[in-house]
Structure 1
Amino acid sequence: MSAGDPLGRRAFVVGAGAAVLAGGAVSPAEAGVVDGPLPDFHPALKAELNFPLAWGTSPVRDFRAWRRTARAKVEEHLLVDREDGTPYAPRFTRRTQGDGYTREVVTLSLTHHERVRAALLTPHGPGPFPAVLLLHDHGAKFDIGKEKLVRPWYDDTRLASAQTWADTYFSGRFVGDELARRGYVVLCADALGWGDRGPVTYDQQQALASNFYHLGSSLAGLMAREDARAADFLAGLDRVDARRVAAVGFSMGAYRAWQTAALTDAVRATAAVCWMTGLKEMMVPGNNTLRGQSSYYMLHPGLPRFLDFPDVASIAAPRPMLFFNGRLDPLFPADGVRVAYDKLRAVWHSRHAEERLHLKTWPDLGHVFVDRMQDEVFSWLDAVL
């Protein structure tokens, strides 16, 4: 090696295999061809995913033991430690009266790293009340988080943005306020990156997630831990009947809802609107998941070697769960929804609890949570809680 030839005669080969070393041409099959965001061998990778820890496939045959084993596997892949010893230390401020309920901002510690602000709505009356942990969506809109679901009485500058979001996805309603009027305590907090904890930009999400991984942690794992802690906090409030706590969400919020139910028994019922699918059926060319970016909020590296999405949700069985999907939803192919629903149905059937699982595909709807869907969810919550 010389100063004029710093690499000497060494060859650096990337993705070319033995053909380059032999001096021959490289065929597409020999090279590491990438088709858009998918490697050319992605079908082989998919074929290797058989989800060996899923109920019915797992060698663990006792359901309670399986739940413990599966939950431990999920927790292992969150890459974020539990926060059982961190005091919530809630501080309640900005109290005002709504239409049949009281509104407050509560600031609390969901982890030992930072304090988080949440909207807390409490119906008028003596209580204790049933309660809903309300989990906001992604939507690539970061200036509002909890304000997507609870009318922001504390910040007029966000009201126009929040109302536009409600008009687009929720028939103009603020779902949290509707639930409070119906007699539910409602807690809704910002996930990292939204509202008071942001806003990030769309293109910053991947870097944010990467930096978490470099720091030995996980963006998706943090969100999962915070949501579980929020559910435990809500269930522990004196105004709440801990036997009647639900998690409810739309889109990414739906993912968060069933994930939270899998991680904590504080959630006694779950309504997940527009987020359930089989992983392999979702990862097809053109699907939004393949872009990266927003998918990092729902990515636990290595977990699919053990469990599919419906397998994780099934950890909450046989508690009541509702899943809605729109047949026109471009984010979740019909094959993926069908695979997931079949898996869920089999688990609840094995527990003789089919009546506790409500699965529905709305034939004329896409990725929305409109008023008629809400009304059915509200009635279902009234029945199961």
Structure 2
Amino acid sequence: MTHAEGRESAAPAPAAPVPSGYESPAVVDGGLPVFHERLKSELTFPLAWGASPIRDFPAWRETARATVEQHLLHPPDDTPFAPETTDEQHADGYRRRTVLFNLTRLSRVRALMLVPDGQGPHPAVLLLHDHGSRFDIGKEKLVRPWYDRERLASARAWVGRCFGGRFVGDELARRGWAVLAVDAPGWGDRSGLTYESQQALAANLFNLGSSPAGLMAREDQRAAAFLASLPEVDAERIAALGFSMGAYRAWQTAALSGHIRAAVAACWMTGLKEMMVPGDNALRGQSAYFMLHPGLARHLDIPDVASIAAPKPLYLTGGSDDPLFTAAGVEAAYRKLRAVWRSQHAEDRLHTETRPGLGHVFTPGMQDDAFAWLDAWAGRPGQPERPGRREPER
């Protein structure tokens, strides 16, 4: 019998029976492991305010912030900023500046700053851009790029889609606010990312002892400190503002930076367990790496991190039809936040809303209401006294 004949005559081996209770497949739709409900049940968030044995709120805030800092996987940075203004132009009621400065020991960046006409120092807003899987523009999503026609065309399309055709930074500057916008790593001047390459970036940063979310959090802290150092800015009246991923960055920076005294966050707040459900956008990975601090969920829920900002004024807004967040997740987070601010007798400093019929957008109407809230907080002329005015740095 030939070798070939031997192969042909060999009887196929019978299929092995599947043992009773055998786990298969290893994952379900959306990338969730089959045992995800068991893992979720283990997330009790023991460091959350009210669950933690620490009953003194300032002591809890210090402990919770230190826990978050530990999970950033990126060390603090005190590199001198060494700023340089390379361009300044006059606009309608304000000046446009291009500023270079050392964001960290690793990166010197080009930022956009708008400064209102008139005598300062001015109240200021740190503008934090969204993700949107659009990497050719970052800071230009919020400040009109006067210096680049190609980016201007891209930015106009973006603000038409997300902001009702309005550049949020330019509108704030016309209203008397100084603003600063910086690219996150991977966007605008620092671009080079694609949707698919985010996983490789995350893996490589993890191997280098860092993470995308931790690096971005540190950079946002540094941008807030830079803004507070400028003579044109009133360091006691600096807010953070962002949409989508920028909203996450806004409340996170308020929680981690003493320079940020208030925050406006549009379309990013949820409970973690309510987010980890089949079909949720975060389950696709990729963009989630910029909002994921490995291991932190063993200690704190998402709104628990935002609660570190209490009792600072915080304005949260979003749409009822936002496809990125479940209604249950938003309400669970709002409920936690309200309990924290209430415990500090600061209910008037927290604004939470869900606007009916709106999706993942920050419309001019939403903006106008948020800007009015900022004016009230800052004690602008003709506006009521702001909640928490002259709140000491925390």
TM-score of the aligned structures, taking structure 2 as reference length = 0.91
The residue that corresponds to 2:253 in the other structure is 260
Aligned-partner SS, 2:328: helix
Q: Distance in 1 between matches of 2:193 and 2:21?
A: 39
The residue that corresponds to 1:139 in the other structure is 132
Matched, 1:79 2:70: no
Q: Distance in 1 between matches of 2:20 and 2:169?
A: 57
Aligned-partner SS, 1:74: helix
The residue that corresponds to 2:297 in the other structure is 304
Identity of aligned residues (%): 65
What is the letter of the counterpart of residue 38 of structure 2?
A
Matched, 1:314 2:307: yes
Q: Distance in 2 between matches of 1:377 and 1:98?
A: 23
1:26-37 alignment to 2 at 5 Å? 26-27=19-20, 29-31=22-24, 33-36=26-29, 37=31
Matched, 1:61 2:90: no
Q: How far is 1:29 from its partner?
A: 3.9
Structure 1 residue runs without a partner (length 5+): 1-19
The residue that corresponds to 1:347 in the other structure is 340
Aligned-partner SS, 1:210: helix
Aligned-partner SS, 1:39: coil
Mapped contact 1:123–1:181 kept (Cα < 8 A): yes
Q: How far is 1:283 from its partner?
A: 1.0
The residue that corresponds to 2:151 in the other structure is 158
Q: Distance in 1 between matches of 2:349 and 2:287?
A: 31
Number of equivalences: 363
The residue that corresponds to 1:42 in the other structure is 36
Matched, 1:377 2:373: no
Q: Distance in 1 between matches of 2:193 and 2:305?
A: 28
Distance 1:384 1:56, change over 3 A: same
Aligned-partner SS, 1:25: coil
1:185-264 alignment to 2 at 5 Å? 185-264=178-257
Deviation per CA, 1:301-339: give whole Å up to 9, x if none: 000000011100010100100000110001000000000
Distance 1:26 1:97, change over 3 A: farther
Q: How far is 1:370 from its partner?
A: 0.6
Q: How far is 1:91 from its partner?
A: 1.0
Mapped contact 1:95–1:103 kept (Cα < 8 A): yes
Q: Distance in 1 between matches of 2:18 and 2:305?
A: 46
**Runs of 4+ residues over 3 Å off in structure 1:** 26-32
Q: Distance in 2 between matches of 1:97 and 1:318?
A: 38
Aligned-partner SS, 1:34: coil
Matched, 1:104 2:97: yes
Q: Distance in 2 between matches of 1:284 and 1:216?
A: 29
What is the letter of the counterpart of residue 60 of structure 2?
W
The residue that corresponds to 1:119 in the other structure is 112
Q: How far is 1:26 from its partner?
A: 3.3
Aligned-partner SS, 1:316: coil
Q: How far is 1:24 from its partner?
A: 5.5
Mapped contact 1:94–1:154 kept (Cα < 8 A): no
Q: How far is 1:80 from its partner?
A: 0.1
Q: Distance in 2 between matches of 1:375 and 1:280?
A: 32
What is the letter of the counterpart of residue 149 of structure 1?
L
Deviation per CA, 1:136-193: give whole Å up to 9, x if none: 0000000000000100011122111100001111110000000000001100000001
Deviation per CA, 1:72-130: give whole Å up to 9, x if none: 0000000000002x101111112111110001111111110111111000000110100
Q: Distance in 2 between matches of 1:88 and 1:27?
A: 63
Q: Distance in 1 between matches of 2:116 and 2:26?
A: 58
Q: Distance in 1 between matches of 2:344 and 2:273?
A: 26
Q: Distance in 2 between matches of 1:129 and 1:75?
A: 30
Distance 1:66 1:129, change over 3 A: same
Q: 1:70 aligns with which of 64, 72, 93?
A: 64
Q: Distance in 2 between matches of 1:144 and 1:76?
A: 31
The residue that corresponds to 1:11 in the other structure is none
TM-score of the aligned structures, taking structure 1 as reference length = 0.93
1:320-331 alignment to 2 at 5 Å? 320-331=313-324
Matched, 1:366 2:359: yes
Mapped contact 1:327–1:366 kept (Cα < 8 A): yes
Q: 1:287 aligns with which of 280, 290, 302?
A: 280
Please report the RMSD computed on the Cα atoms of aligned residues, expressed in angstroms. Answer: 1.2
